Amino acid sequence: MNNRSDIFKEKVAKDPNNSLFRYSLGQALFDEKQYADAQEHLQFCADSREDWMMPRILLGKALLEAGDTEAAKPVLADALQLAVDQNHDDPAAELREILADLA
């Protein structure tokens, strides 16, 4: 096991419907710049809870890194709305900046 993602790949293999394991794997893959691989797990998490902001932020960023700007925009906009609704000022500011750069 060389990467943090390897730890979570094993956990997801044993419990594929565990959204916390899937989020941790998606986050680890994102951190390892494996953006395409991260997307599946982050999408799973975003789909699992409509109020879960963090997987949407990482999914949007992963889509941007993979060059899919058009798919990233609505994901990031949803994340921004959640950040505002949940009073997460720093993520909201970061998301506004990203979306402004994409406009």
DSSP 19-63: HHHHHHHHHHHHHTT-HHHHHHHHHHHHHH-TT-HHHHHHHHHHH
Q: What CA–CA distance (Å, rounded) separates 3 from 73?
A: 29
Each residue's pLDDT expressed in tens, for the chain with a length of 103 residues:
578 999 999 999 999 999 999 999 999 999 999 999 999 999 999 999 999 999 999 999 999 999 999 999 999 999 999 999 999 999 999 999 999 999 8
| CATH number, position 61 | 1.25.40.10
- Number of domains the chain is built from: 1
Altogether, the residues listed in the chain come to a count of 103
Q: What CA–CA distance (Å, rounded) separates 91 from 97?
A: 10
Q: At what angle do helices 19-31 and 53-65 cross, to 10 degrees?
A: 30
The answer to whether 83 and 71 are in contact (CB under 8 A) is no
Q: What CA–CA distance (Å, rounded) separates 46 from 63?
A: 14
Question: Where do we find the tokens 């949940």?
Answer: 86
Range of the domain at 20: 4-102
